[in-house]
Amino acid sequence: MADTIPSTGQFALIIAPKGRTQNSIVRHLMLLLNYRYGLDLLVANSFYEGFSAVQRHGSRLVCAAAILDRKTDSRTSISSLNLEGKLPLFLIIPEHTKAQHEELCYRLDDVWFVTWEEALAADAPGSLRRMVERVFAERNVGELFSAEGLALPYEQMQERVAQRLRNVKTLPTLPEVAVRIMNMISDPESTAADLEDVLTADPAIVHKLLQVVNSPLFAGSGHKGDWSLHEAIVRLGMRQVNSIAQQIKMMNSLVKPEESPFDLRRFWEHSVACAVIADRMYRGRMLSLKDDLQFSDYWIGALLHDAGKLILGFFFWEHFEQLLGYMGANQCTFREAEKATGDVANHELLGRLLLMKSHVGERLVETVATHHTAGPQPSDLVCLVHLANELSKELGFGYLPDEPRLYAAEVLRKLGMETSAVISLRERLGRDLPDEIRALVDRCTIID
């Protein structure tokens, strides 16, 4: 049976018999329709189930897509699926059956053909993404982050996203305690005692937090390692202790599905490396930055810059693995691989959605959403996180050990940096940081 449809929202119907090629196209459609357009999905395994879904829920369907592995002989079946031309229907078919399907569907309205061979192509005019974009544009079905949507005040955009993604099951939220701690920093009335109350409710987190704040990385090489939680807050400040506590909570709360081989340890090593490098560069005044940046902004921004990869690695592993394979074969970055393979729902977009759903502030959301595509005038915060991200790969902390790096020209120009300056930074940072980063990840991880 097709999945039961919830009581609110707009949906897309996918009819997909089981098969490896079909599964790849289904995942592509899920990323495209869920995350670019905010549509929930109704999935059927046969034409019969699809007919039933259309009859029950046709008025709330935005489109239907049928993935076929052979020619269909029934013109009536196709016409019924698209409500006699009232519902856009994408037929995704092998190339050698296209002419036969076109003849079968002659004079049927709103039936669109996409071949298996072009469906997942990056920029082919006949790709699934391009076809959906054209058909949806004609019907004023806008993307979540269209130019119009991005121009809205942040609170309105956040509400729009929340409404359209209410029932999407593959978009998690950040741990509630981590978000509560994060929000305390933006509350001018919160106190150190308030932070202590929140943290002490989770003794395991406090235990790991004290290990981290008493380490040489934060307390200094001469420290004896005996700060209490209250002393740590007083000496390091609420923002720093707050950010470290968020990090520990997130690292121990985001648990990948058992069926995914996503390397969560490697992911956190890269994320923590990015945060540590950003902190080292900012506190050491290694960059020409004009803004006064808060520890909580650049630390959490760096830690979560790749949050979108968690969604891909947890729920769309085969797609993620294909991207890694493309990176290895073409010696390019993850973001370049996304662009080359369709850019259907890249990790910057997914990171933006994840943080907006978790009700995180605008500045942090925009940093995560533009850490690669920095734009012509990137903020100092974006520049810091972007540079830390690429330098972490230089030090061997990419998701892949030899992951390529690509410094955005706009960032280097804003910082007034030449290639020689980047090389110098890498050499300065590479002397002692790798061991400290691995030790920090060890201290943050709770072992059951």
Check whether 2 has a pLDDT greater than 60.
no
pLDDT range class, residue 7, cuts 50, 70, 90: very low
Domain residue ranges in the chain: 11-164, 176-444
Q: Could you report the per-residue pLDDT of 299-357, keeping only the tens digit for each?
A: 999 999 999 999 999 999 988 998 999 999 999 999 999 988 888 889 999 999 999 98
Across the chain, what does the average pLDDT equal?
88
The pTM for the full model equals 0.89
Check whether 244 has a pLDDT greater than 60.
yes
Q: Which fold has domain 176-444?
A: Hypothetical protein af1432 (1.10.3210)
Q: Could you report the per-residue pLDDT of 67-112, keeping only the tens digit for each?
A: 998 888 788 888 888 898 899 999 999 999 999 999 999 889 999 9
- What's the confidence (pLDDT) of residue 9? 66
pLDDT range class, residue 181, cuts 50, 70, 90: confident
- CATH homologous superfamily of 11-164 equals Response regulator (3.40.50.2300)
User: Hey, what are 57's tokens?
Assistant: 């829920």
Q: Do domains 11-164 and 176-444 have the same CATH topology?
A: no
**Which of 295, 189, 287 is CA-nearest to residue 246?**
295
Three-class SS state of 124: coil
User: What secondary structure does DSSP assign to 22-34, as a single string?
Assistant: HHHHHHHHHIIII
DSSP state of 360: -
For the CA atoms of 132, 314, 11, 80, the dihedral, rounded to the nearest 10 degrees, stands at: 70
- What's the confidence (pLDDT) of residue 266? 94
User: Hey, what are 200's tokens?
Assistant: 């002490």
Check whether 8 has a pLDDT greater than 70.
no
Return the H-helix or E-strand segment holding 238. Answer: helix 238-253
**Residue the block writes with tokens 């809205």:** 152
Q: What share of the chain is helix, strand, coil (3-state, %, to 5)?
A: 60, 5, 35
